[in-house]
Amino acid sequence: METARKDILNKSLRAGSALILTVVLTSLLAIIGVLFVMVSRVDKMATSAISENKSLNLAVETVVAKISQELVLDVPGMTDPNSPADPNSPPALIEEYYDYPDVNNLWLASLEPYESGGNYYWRQISQLYFASDPNLGLQAAIVPDYQDPAVIGQTVIADADGDGVGDSQWVIVPDISSSKGKPIYAAVRIIDNAAMLNANTALKLDLSDPNTPARDIGGSRQSQISFLALAGRPGLPHAVTEETDLLAARASSGRGVDPLNVRAYEESVTWRYGEPNMPYTPFDMSDELELRYRFLLNHPDIDTRLEAWGGEFRTPALTTPIALSRNPDVSRRQDDNARNLAQWSKRAQDPFDQNYAYRHIATTYNMDRIISPAGSILNAGKMVNVNLADESMLHAAIRRALLENDPNTLRAERVAAQLAVNIVDLRDRDERVTVLSVGSEVFYGLEAQPFISEIAINISEANADVSANNHFAVELYNPFDTDIGLSDFRLELRDPNNIIVSTISLAGNVIADGSRFVITSGSGASSEFGAAGLMSIGGGREDPNLVLAAYVPVPDSDPPQYVLDERYDVYLMRRVLASELYLDKQQTDDAWFDWNASKNLTQSYARPDNDWNIVYQDFATANNTLGTANGLTGTRRNYNLASSLGDFICVGDIARALTVAPSTDPNDMIGIKLSAEPREEFVRLDLRNPTATDVFQYLTVIDPTDHGHPQYETRIKGRVNVNTAPWYVIAQLPWMPPAIAQAIVAYRDTIAGAFESTGELLHVPEMGYYADDPAQVSVDLDRFPDLTPGDGATSDFEERDVIFCRLSNLATVRSDVFTAYILVRIGTDGPQKRVVAILDRSQVTSTAGKVKILALHPVPDPR
């Protein structure tokens, strides 16, 4: 019985256990099912997220590729892929030479907004996939945290750089979509790094030492651009320690190098394109990314070395993006938003405001190239260095530049040829006249030459018909600042029929700079004129062939009288190769000389020798001053002739070269060419003339070759693009007053548009400040530095062009490094991604070239 109960109990327990087990198993299966579903969903979500991330990355790559394509097709001098093929003519070249936000550069955005009527506008936003009217600037308005780009066909503004203000437009990226077929939207903002001051190359213009050589303050090097302007607030001086701190930061705090040795730093950093020479430590790409980070925003958790140096980069920056007002009072929201936008604008475009943000006008990496629109046709595409090129290469470059704007081919040819040989003779230190043959014409350079400065005569009262009884002297004056060897020079005496009567060789003699050399007709003449001492010290020579007049007796006169029978003009000649150049002449007719004045009296005639009046054949009665200054003062135009300057400091100084020179034609002598006192633009290269400004697309002085690089290296760091830079950046160029910098930007943005050549800066009326302002014409330009110290000339080319000359090496109109802010989104409400890209096209030389991506960095959404 007991056994039966146990069996029944066991059976019940087994049945209960099975039931429990069934429940447990069912629960486990349910849990497993739920987990499976959850895992499936998570996996699906992860797969979707991965797919979306791939789509966003693909969108970024597509946009970067499009930007790169635009940059490649914008390089001047390359074959234009869109030009029609013509087997009978050379392929067309890309001629657009500048980078400025306009219809020719739709991809490029303005760096700063402008204010109009209380609103703020961008003159141009980047347009990669569409072309809106470039004359209709996008209004800068605060945009929502996550604005909807859904309405295609309408202008939907976007905030590409993340500072809270609209600076771009949403567009659909063509030819790609997400894995689910949704469109990809993008907003892009591309800005020019050459619109900014380079923290690694710029320093300051130091005028503290009055004895500083002109080269060190004349705009010859990038270090003369003032980066220290960003060490203090606008209009206020920076702290003295800021300079040493900057130098130390860039030079490893002085470990192993002298931070104050700027020249050594330049050779080790500024003129290197890869890693800097150790142990120099210039600011790097991490500093660059922090500066570019969301345009005006400071990252509160990151402090780069550059920001540690200049606290001014942090204090005025925004810590969060400008946001739409959430004021519960709807009527006040508009006022709040207007106030917030005004605060943003002061940081973005108002250098007079203490909150102006320096981070958006500072960079650690920018670059352009000294390339010409001619491409490989001329000098392998590189600008021609006026300090290194021979006369043929200079002629080819200048000719091509002039022909772009001057339909008169013959005139352009002649001006180019004469200017080429004159540039060579202006820069070299020798006395050799440069010669260039162009077709059937030969052009001779302008080298230092003496001028006829004084003539003295004394006619014998008795036996005047005997030449030896008469005394003559001719003085030559060297007004140049270099000695002149006279081996190839001679005087010729010619009768009124231009027949050579006699020749006086000057070989073996030298006229020191600023000195005089006297030729007399013999020892009696030397004694008579007080010139014997000059002869003894090499300051003159005696030659019996120097007979300027012949006399005959008057028939039946008693006592004998003598009258002039023949007089001879004096010509100064120079032999160059097999040719004879006419340098100067002085006529001796009655208009100048009284040949029948009382005998046995010394008569002297001289030219004014002040301020280059010596070139004019303006003789006047004077005291005998042979061998010394004659004291006559002329008032005619001072053309400031120059010779043997040595290398040009700045390319703008080519305007010092004349476009005239002596030749084998007696009517081409300098004195005759200048006798009518033509305006300087007729005898020099007029930099303000539109036909001449393009020479600065072809000529350069600043050149990597001078710093150990191969002949065809063209990259230049640290210059300022005057087409994209704000006025406050342009004002940091050497010798640039803020008022003129503002005038340049106003002229550029409201009147003329892009500068296609740096020479077009001279079209800005205010650039003639030192010539046009009556309060400035008497300013001592020695510290400018003066091109011709002490010349006494005002309102000439020197004063007119001096500001341009001083910045001509360091200004450019194009760039090769750009920053792109890219914002992409899947669909109208999907995930989005921000990146910042630094793009360098400085090694692109053909349409097949590749843009170098220096950085492609994701940026967390600022909100």
Instruction: Write out pLDDT tens, residues 776-815.
Output: 544 444 444 444 455 555 556 667 788 898 899 999 999 9
Query: Do both 523 and 544 map to the same domain?
Result: yes
Q: Is the domain of 395 the same as that of 464?
A: no
Bigger pLDDT: 44 vs 61: 61
| Whether residue 384 is found in the same domain as residue 486 | no
Tokens of 748: 């550029």
Closest CA to 456 of 586, 576, 352, 557: 586
- Is 556 part of a structural domain of the chain? yes
Contacts of 85 (CB under 8 A, 6+ apart): 91
Question: By the 8 A CB rule, do 108 and 724 touch?
Answer: yes
Residue 499 lies in a domain: yes
Helix, strand and coil percent figures for the chain, each rounded to 5: 30, 20, 50
H helices present in 271-408, as ranges: 285-292, 305-309, 330-349, 391-403
Per residue in 475-525, pLDDT (tens digit) is 999 999 889 999 999 999 999 999 999 999 999 999 999 999 999 999 999
- Radius of gyration, CA atoms only, the chain: 39
Which residues lie below 8 Å from residue 737, measured CB to CB, with a gap of 6+? 731, 769, 803
What beta strand segments (E) does 401-478 contain? 435-438, 441-444, 451-458, 471-477
Q: Report the C-alpha gap between 863 and 843 in whole angstroms.
A: 37
> Under a CB-based contact definition with an 8 Å cutoff, are residues 756 and 694 in contact?
yes
Residue type, 431: E
pLDDT in tens, 262-298: 999 999 999 999 888 888 999 999 999 988 987 788 8
How confident is the model at residue 781, as a pLDDT?
47
Surface-to-core class of residue 545, CB atoms within 10 Å of its CB (0-12 exposed, 13-18 middle, 19+ buried): middle
Compute the distance between CA of residue 195 and CA of residue 815 in angstroms, rounded to an integer. Answer: 9
Print the domain residue range for 460. 451-622
Q: Scanning the structure block, which residue is given the tokens 């009046």?
A: 613
In this structure, the dihedral spanned by the alpha carbons of residues 347, 350, 356 and 362, taken in order and rounded to 10 degrees, is 100
Least confident range of 100-109, 567-576, 675-684, 836-845: 675-684
How far is 14 from 24, CA to CA, in rounded Å? 15
| Beta strand residue intervals within 294-426, DSSP E | 362-363, 367-369, 384-385
Alpha-carbon gap, residue 595 to 395, rounded angstroms: 48
How far apart are the C-alpha atoms of 335 and 689, rounded to whole Å?
50
Q: Are residues 396 and 520 in the same domain?
A: no
Query: 411 with 393, same domain?
Result: yes
**Which residue, among 58, 135, 668, 700, has the nearest Cα to 382 in the 3D structure?**
700
Q: Do 503 and 586 have their domain in common?
A: yes
Average per-residue pLDDT for the chain = 87
Residue 362 counted as domain residue: no
Alpha-carbon dihedral sign for residues 379, 383, 387, 393:
positive
| Residue bearing the bigger pLDDT, 109 or 6 | 109
**143 within some domain:** no
List the beta strands (DSSP E) in 695-848: 699-700, 715-717, 720-721, 811-812, 817-826, 832-840
Residues 598 and 568 in one domain: yes
Task: Say how many CA atoms lie within 13 Å of 724 toward its Cβ.
Answer: 33
- The larger pLDDT score, comparing residue 419 to residue 691, is at 419
User: What are the C-alpha distances in Å from 482 to residues 227, 513, 629?
Assistant: 39, 5, 18
pLDDT (average), residues 76-102: 78
User: Locate tokens 């705090």: which residue?
Assistant: 253
Which three-class secondary structure state does DSSP give residue 186? Answer: strand
Are 408 and 532 contained in the same domain?
Answer: no
The residue to which tokens 């192993």 are assigned: 256
Q: Which two tokens stand for residue 344?
A: 């943003």
Q: Does a structural domain hold residue 502?
A: yes
Q: Is-contact 798 684, C-beta < 8 A?
A: no
Same domain, 586 and 604: yes
Mean pLDDT of 594-604: 81
Please report the pLDDT score of residue 51 as a whole number. Answer: 84
Q: Are 837 and 69 in contact (CB under 8 A)?
A: no
Strands (E), 117-203: 119-122, 138-139, 157-158, 168-169, 171-177, 183-192, 197-198
Residue type, 847: T
Among 103-112, 239-248, 251-260, 278-287, which range has the highest average pLDDT? 103-112
What is the rounded CA–CA span in Å between residue 669 and residue 129?
61
- DSSP H/E element including 215: helix 214-217
**Whether residue 582 sits in one domain with residue 514:** yes
Distance between CA atoms of 568 and 295, rounded to whole angstroms?
79
DSSP state of 274: S
Residue 328 included in any domain: no
318 beta partners: 297
- What φ, ψ does residue 293 adopt, rounded to 5°? -60, 105
Question: Helix H segments across 597-652?
Answer: none
In a domain, 787, yes or no: no
What CA–CA distance (Å, rounded) separates 123 from 114? 8
Spatial distance between the Cα atoms of 68 and 839, rounded to a whole number of angstroms: 8
- CA angle at residue 690 from 698 to 195, to 5 degrees? 60
Residue with tokens 């470990």: 255
643, two tokens = 């010779």
C-alpha 346/C-alpha 356 separation (Å) is 6
pLDDT at 771: 62
Q: Phi and psi (nearest 5°) for 819?
A: -110, 130
> Helices marked H in 268-374 — which ranges?
285-292, 305-309, 330-349
Task: Tell me how many domains the chain contains.
Answer: 2
Pairing of strands 471-477, 516-520: antiparallel
CA dist list (Å): 653 to 111, 387, 734:
31, 11, 15
Q: Is 463 in the same domain as 426?
A: no
- The tokens for 321 are 């993006």
Express as a percent the part of the chain with pLDDT over 70. Answer: 89
DSSP code for 143? -
Phi, psi torsion values for 492, nearest 5 degrees: -120, 135
Q: How confident is the model at residue 123 (pLDDT cuts 50, 70, 90)?
A: very high
pLDDT confidence band for 448 (50 / 70 / 90) = very high
87, pLDDT greater than 90:
no
Assigned domain for 511 exists: yes
Phi and psi, residue 193, nearest 5° = -70, -20
Q: Write the DSSP symbol of residue 724.
A: T
Alpha-carbon 753 to chain mean position: 18
Domain match, 651 and 605 both? no
CA 689 to chain CA centroid, Å, is: 18
Q: How does pLDDT run across 338-363, given as a tens digit for each residue?
A: 899 998 999 999 998 888 999 999 99
pLDDT in tens, 613-655: 999 998 888 999 999 998 899 989 888 887 777 889 999 989 8
Q: How confident is the model at residue 78 (pLDDT cuts 50, 70, 90)?
A: confident
User: How large is the average pLDDT for residues 810-832?
Assistant: 94
Q: How many CA atoms lie within 13 A of 853 on its CB side?
A: 16
Task: Report which secondary-structure segment, H or E, holds 245.
Answer: helix 240-250
